[in-house]
A and B are shown apart, each in its own frame.
Chain A
Amino acid sequence: GNSVTQMEGPVTLSEEAFLTINCTYTATGYPSLFWYVQYPGEGLQLLLKATKADDKGSNKGFEATYRKETTSFHLEKGSVQVSDSAVYFCALIKNTGNQFYFGTGTSLTVIP
């Protein structure tokens, strides 16, 4: 079946620290991969996406590379800010379907 597994949280980092949130997936075919972010009190919003192997999605200093060989899409940021505190969700959609599969979310807190 199709599924997304992401690292357990919560994650607490100091400002300017390096961030990695791991995400691996199981899917048939060639899915598209996404990271969504949910800031406190808000709905989910798209952070970045990648649609084929070796693509790198990037936005707001965050990056993730679609690694088919390791079925991974890890989220990274070189220097986090307090404003990055949120819950991050990894997700996929199959290339032949309409169903989105989400991970359980990873809560990030950045302290000054």
Chain B
Amino acid sequence: GAGVSQSPSNKVTEKGKDVELRCDPISGHTALYWYRQSLGQGLEFLIYFQGNSAPDKSGLPSDRFSAERTGGSVSTLTIQRTQQEDSAVYLCASSLMNLYSGANVLTFGAGSRLTVL
């Protein structure tokens, strides 16, 4: 597509429920990133995909968080047994990864705002 699409744009859920957030990157972009932006906080790195594999999962805050990417395209971030502290905007970004790092520009989606009651 023309840009990075994320869905849903807004999600309100009850504590303890599972949620899935979807990211559809720019066609052909091999790298995909998930970040979390909490109120008053910066961007917290969650996970990075190169193709379908995730060489860096170091940012996932707990084992309730998982992500997958299929077909080198769409990615899903799943949060199980949601807690109130999971409330945040979840941002997805993609990049046409290049050996020359200066060319690796991230294109962000508009984000999925998650509110856990």
Task: Point out residues on A near B: beta carbons under 8 Å.
Answer: 31-32, 34, 36, 42-46, 49, 51-52, 89, 93-105
Given known contacts A45-B108, A100-B106, A89 and B101 CB-to-CB distance under 8 angstroms: no
Query: Does B79 touch A at the CB level, under 8 Å?
Result: no
What separation, in Å, do the CA atoms of A104 and B50 have in the docked complex?
25
Residues of A within 8 Å of B106, CB to CB, are: 36, 44, 46, 100
Nearest residue in A to B49 (C-beta to C-beta)?
A: A98
Given known contacts A43-B108, A44-B108, A99-B48, A93 and B43 CB-to-CB distance under 8 angstroms: no
Size of the B side of the interface (Cβ < 8 Å), in residues, is 25
Determine if A104 and B105 form an interchain contact, defined as CB atoms under 8 angstroms apart. Answer: no
A interface footprint on B11-54 (CB within 8 Å = 1, 0 otherwise): 00000000000000000000101010000011101001010000
Of all A-B residue pairs in the complex, the 3 with the closest CB atoms, nearest first, are: A51-B102, A104-B42, A43-B108
Determine if A102 and B42 form an interchain contact, defined as CB atoms under 8 angstroms apart. Answer: yes
Task: Tell me how far the C-beta of B80 lies from the nearest C-beta in chain A, rounded to whole angstroms.
Answer: 25
Determine if B43 and A105 form an interchain contact, defined as CB atoms under 8 angstroms apart. Answer: yes
Nearest residue in A to B98 (C-beta to C-beta)?
A: A98
Residues of A within 8 Å of B104, CB to CB, are: 32, 93, 98
Q: Looking at A31, A95, A98, A101, which has the most chain B CB atoms within 10 Å of its CB?
A: A98
